[in-house]
Structure 1
Amino acid sequence: MSKTSGREQAIHAATQSIHNGQFFDTLARRVAMQTESQNPDAAAQLSAYLTDEMAPLFASLGFATEFYPNPVDGKPPLMIAERMEADALPTLLLYGHGDVTNGQAELWQAGTHPWQLTQSGNQLFGRGTADNKGQHTINLMALQAVLDARGGKLGYNVKILFEMSEEVGSIGLEQFCREQKDKLAADLFLASDGPRLNASTPTLFLGSRGVCQFRLRCHTGNGDRHSGNWGGIITNSAIRLQHALAILVSANGRILAEPLKAPQPEGLTASMMQQLPVGGQAGDPELNPHWGESHLTDGERLFGCNTLEVIALGAGNVAQPIGAIPQTAEAVCHLRMVPGTDWQNLIPNLRAYLAAAGFEDIDVILEGGYNATRLDPNHPWVGFARESMQRSLQQPVTVLPNLGGTIPNHCFAEVLALPTVWMPHSYPSCKQHAPDEHLLVDVAEQGLAAAAGLLWDLGEQWPV
């Protein structure tokens, strides 16, 4: 009988945590902490997640931990944990966030609750199970399994960066990375957030589409005026706003305004996207083949194009209309963007575009954004991670040039200048940010195996 290798021991120990209850108990404790970064009353819980939950774990794994105030006054703190085996060894930077979106407890299905981990078949319900407590719990349990299997020596250094404000735009993270660039110096970056391509497909992604949130506002200054007494002779802000939106994006979701456009996918990036299966899984929404850049494949439309999404729209009181012409109408928009988009000049360019079309009365207000980032798919770190995962899982692994959504990857790829690989442990219909957020047990078990195998392999051969 062949002797079990250290790699196999590490993978077995990591995945066994699913079956012996350790993973459930650990995640249940973390889910119970109401770390809502959108909640101004949650400051103590946000700090406690770092000091009471993460710090003792890191100490047990041989890490030195430091806590830092957020560079933005009044915002949640950050933490850096270091485990330095030797200055001459290469260093891996890991990342996670312990904050979650609001619980919305009243909207969850019967038998579940945002602050109580509940299992139903293959689903683990609770706020943060998918985003991000479940995902970083998987990686940290895998790290512990590898340390145990190697007798307490990894063969490389590890730094871990934790933030507590990702769900409110990672406020202060970019500035913090600039200020602590030397402290965060590393050779490779690995983290887990966002979804796989689908529940059955192990996935790596190398960056993310960027996002720019802006608000369009038409404000007449007339006050809300009776639609009979004043209709026909004063401006209706809602009508103006609707027509302004119509010159930005078509009725089928195709971007019309030049300032919002970006280069179409091409070369290796395009070929990687063209064959990607999108949707069609249980719980997925129905795709519209005629939406957006309909001449492209679903993969190119989701991962390789800019899209303009109206995420909130309002004028007057829809629930209780008062029969008045509204003085103000607003639309909150997301431009999801790929590399090549001139997003830093978006607001003045968009104002000029609207004014040239006769919409000088539409104001454009920037509310924040992240740049789009994408690691070269030919980078050695990509092939190394893919081959390691395939060896651990005994099935193909799909590589996405970038996530369709947005994560603060620019902080690591641009500010810290690191090659970034993300290994997601969730799936698109996990309902993150919504009621009934959940993690799939079988995906978590695969994640534990994949993470343990990859963290083991880095101690055998460094990829760069």
Structure 2
Amino acid sequence: MLKRDVLTVIEENRERYIEWLVEFCKIPSVAAQGRGMEEAVKFLDGLFEEELGLQPEKLDAGGYPVVYCEMKGASDHTISFYNHYDVQPEDPVDLWQTPAFEPDLRDGKIFARGVADNKGNLIARMAAVHAILQADEELPMNVKFVFEGEEEIGSVNLPELAEKHAEKLASDGCVWEFGYRDPDGTVQLSLGVKGMLYVELTASGASTDLHSANATIIENPLWRLVWALGTLKDPKERVLIPGFYDEIDEITETELALLDSYELDEDAMLDSLKLKKFVLGLKGDQLKRKHIFEPTCNICGVEGGYTGEGSKTVLPSKAMAKLDFRLVPGQDPQKILAALREHLDANGFEDIEIREMSSEVAARTHPDEALVHVMRSVAEKVSGKKPNVVPNTPGTGPMHVLCQALGIPSASFGVGNFSSNNHAPNENINVEDYIDGIKMAAVLIEEFNAQLNKEKSVVG
């Protein structure tokens, strides 16, 4: 047991911890544009050195470094925290009520790019360790921080790093980067993530843009791209690439039971998005099952020709589309990539180039893991309500390569909310959710260690 109540210590330091987050969110650490990355690393170095008394390592990932820090505790058990310090670009800037990198506290919220994804969770977990050390001079167990700088660009260098530094990444359980609350304030506890294949398709035509009068005799690559995209999915949302669904893992009874208890506030979600219905008009269990357990084929954007103000009669020379496929356990991104190539070729689109941008394997942790049981208890203890347990979130991250591939169970809860606007203007978190996120991380470190000690004594 800690010498002082850690929750009291967190309340005593709340303004300090808010200041940490606000200062971090001022740094425009946009990996996709190479902005602010060195400054973000320096900020983390300073926080570790000045507030936790440690010098973190920089693990070479071939790009922006992974900031790694291991703190020794009283037991030989280890918990790890994975987060990322890079953020999405702030575009479109004109839709922000206040500048994206000038954090604004209003209406009980903090607004800033990256405050929910992922700086709020990152700082909350550092604050939790700081609070434990304030409550007691020693951590109950070993703690490892793994802070990546390339998550928002697909973690392209992480597989090599994980293989090279598997020993440093080893732990008894990993708390993953994100976490949200439902519209009614219920904490979401996620046990996994979907996989990803992100590709760029390019159709090329003439060596230069032409007057559109030439459309009678010169092929338009934008039309070729549109026709190709039209072969990928039907109006009932079924992906038409042969073999796309063949190797999906069967959903277990335990996972289905979690789906039954998973609460999705459909009305609140539709209302917040100003929509009248979900895709295909789905509701209830069918909607939840599709959202959690099914893969996707999504067009992120299409570019080509003239889209500016007024008219310009042009026949474009090139067209490009960006697609992401959210994948579920059993689907291999490289097999899906090969199947996509075969599908386009079989439909007469051999000329369309495919450029792989990134890929991730789906990951899911069994709900009977000790980490999951303790996280459930901690979420209820801090928030006063049983958490909403989700087999996996619809989003993606490098969980498999850092956790499941190394035999490490992982799950996540955190400081975001159902309308945090990740990747969008006016990204935000609730101040009280942030403070609770610190509390949950701190209590988890103590109670996860106690649970592992209990299991060890039973085995012994």
The alignment's TM-score, normalised by the length of structure 2, stands at: 0.88
Mapped partners of 1:423, 1:194: distance in 2? 4
2:33 counterpart letter in structure 1 = N
Contact kept? 2:179, 2:188, Cα under 8 Å: no
* 1:178 is the counterpart of 2:166: no
Mapped partners of 1:176, 1:334: distance in 2? 24
The superposition leaves residues 118-170 of structure 1 with CA deviations (integer Å, 9 ceiling, x where unpaired) of: 11112211122111111122222222223333x22232111111222222222
Mapped partners of 2:120, 2:293: distance in 1? 28
Deviation, structure 1 residue 332: 0.6
Cα gap change, 1:96 to 1:376, in 2 (>3 Å): same
Aligned to 1:272, the other structure's residue is in SS state: helix
- Unpaired segments of 5 or more residues in structure 2? 456-460
- Correspondent of 1:236 among 220, 223, 227: 220
What is the match of residue 380 of structure 1?
Answer: 370
- Unpaired segments of 5 or more residues in structure 1? none
Cα gap change, 1:66 to 1:182, in 2 (>3 Å): same
2:165 counterpart letter in structure 1 = Q
Cα gap change, 1:156 to 1:99, in 2 (>3 Å): same
Mapped partners of 2:42, 2:426: distance in 1? 25
Cα gap change, 1:131 to 1:455, in 2 (>3 Å): same
- Correspondent of 1:363 among 350, 353, 356: 353
What is the match of residue 125 of structure 1?
Answer: 111
Mapped partners of 2:303, 2:104: distance in 1? 37
What is the match of residue 81 of structure 1?
Answer: 69
Matches within 5 A, 1:386-425: 386-425=376-415
Deviation, structure 1 residue 47: 3.0
Deviation, structure 1 residue 64: 5.1
* 1:248 is the counterpart of 2:232: yes
Aligned to 1:280, the other structure's residue is in SS state: helix
* 1:65 is the counterpart of 2:56: yes
* 1:51 is the counterpart of 2:51: no
Mapped partners of 2:366, 2:254: distance in 1? 9
Mapped partners of 1:238, 1:12: distance in 2? 61
Mapped partners of 2:103, 2:441: distance in 1? 23
Cα gap change, 1:65 to 1:287, in 2 (>3 Å): farther
What is the match of residue 10 of structure 2?
Answer: 14
Cα gap change, 1:241 to 1:194, in 2 (>3 Å): farther
The superposition leaves residues 348-376 of structure 1 with CA deviations (integer Å, 9 ceiling, x where unpaired) of: 21121122223333332211111110011
Contact kept? 2:306, 2:314, Cα under 8 Å: no
The superposition leaves residues 173-209 of structure 1 with CA deviations (integer Å, 9 ceiling, x where unpaired) of: 2221211111222221113325344461211111101
What is the match of residue 227 of structure 1?
Answer: 212
Cα gap change, 1:293 to 1:405, in 2 (>3 Å): same
Aligned to 1:307, the other structure's residue is in SS state: coil
Mapped partners of 2:325, 2:51: distance in 1? 39
What is the match of residue 138 of structure 1?
Answer: 124
* 1:37 is the counterpart of 2:22: no
Q: State the percentage of identical aligned residues.
A: 24
Aligned to 2:33, the other structure's residue is in SS state: coil
What is the match of residue 267 of structure 1?
Answer: 253
1:13 counterpart letter in structure 2 = V
Aligned to 2:372, the other structure's residue is in SS state: helix
Contact kept? 2:329, 2:363, Cα under 8 Å: yes
The superposition leaves residues 381-413 of structure 1 with CA deviations (integer Å, 9 ceiling, x where unpaired) of: 211211222123221111111111112212322
Contact kept? 1:254, 1:292, Cα under 8 Å: no
Mapped partners of 1:378, 1:243: distance in 2? 47
1:319 counterpart letter in structure 2 = G
What is the match of residue 85 of structure 2?
Answer: 98
What is the match of residue 458 of structure 2?
Answer: none
Deviation, structure 1 residue 43: 4.2
What is the match of residue 327 of structure 1?
Answer: 317
The superposition leaves residues 321-349 of structure 1 with CA deviations (integer Å, 9 ceiling, x where unpaired) of: 53222232221100011112132122221
The alignment's TM-score, normalised by the length of structure 1, stands at: 0.88
Aligned to 1:38, the other structure's residue is in SS state: helix
Query: How many residues of Structure 1 are paired with residues of Structure 2 in the alignment?
Result: 448
Mapped partners of 2:291, 2:204: distance in 1? 34
Mapped partners of 2:429, 2:111: distance in 1? 7
Mapped partners of 1:64, 1:416: distance in 2? 26
